Amino acid sequence: MNYQVSIHENPMIRVLIADNHSLVRQCIRIFLQKADDIEIVGEAWDGQKAVELAECLAPDVLVMDIALPQVNGLQATEQICRQGLNTHVVILSLYNDEIQQWQALRHGANGFVPKDLIAAELLSAVRAAHHGRIYRGCYPGGAK
């Protein structure tokens, strides 16, 4: 028998989305699903659920709001890193704030994207995080 093995040079990036606003989660999901290399594996509405789903679903990348109820995005990122999960985190924020950006990176995030720049920056941030690179964007205050 002849078997053909399909080897994916660019495997799908498995993404978990965490935001306490369902409309924001829906918009991010729709935006990311347009990319050929991204698969959405789940959604969380608070930081604790994001950590639980990261443990269960083992996403490659977690796209997470910094301001979540229960456990905020920084605390959730720190928990994920402390547990040794192989999930890279991209933090989203309403504010283009260099202090929040540095806090996110200090807590273990691989990327930081202001929400008003999601369309311009999120795909690049997810792909960079998937490869273990730090992504700070190309907006004022950020540098790739």
Per-residue confidence band for 134, with pLDDT thresholds at 50, 70 and 90: very high
pLDDT in tens, 6-16: 445 558 999 99
- 76-119 pLDDT, tens digit each: 999 999 999 999 999 999 988 889 999 999 999 999 999 999 99
Radius of gyration from C-alpha coordinates of the chain: 15
Q: What is the pLDDT of residues 7-47, one digit of tens each?
A: 455 589 999 999 999 999 999 999 999 999 999 999 999 99
The hierarchical CATH code for the domain 13-130 is: 3.40.50.2300
Q: Which backbone phi and psi does 131 adopt, to 5 degrees?
A: -95, 10
Average model confidence (pLDDT) for the chain? 91
Summarised one tens digit per residue, pLDDT across range 49-61 is 999 999 999 999 9
Count the neighbouring beta carbons within 10 Å of the beta carbon of residue 21. 10
* Cα–Cα distance for residue pair 85/125, rounded to 1 Å: 19
Check residue 55 and report its DSSP letter: H
How far is Cα 47 from Cα 58, in angstroms, rounded to an integer?
15
Given a cut of 60, whether residue 2 has pLDDT beyond it is no
d(CA 63, CA 86): 14
Q: Where are the domains of the chain?
A: 13-130
pLDDT, tens digit, 9 for 90 and up, residues 65-79: 999 999 999 999 999
Q: What angle is formed at CA 43 by the lines to CA 37 and CA 44, rounded to 5 degrees? A: 145
Question: In DSSP terms, which residues pair with 91 in a beta bridge?
Answer: 64, 112
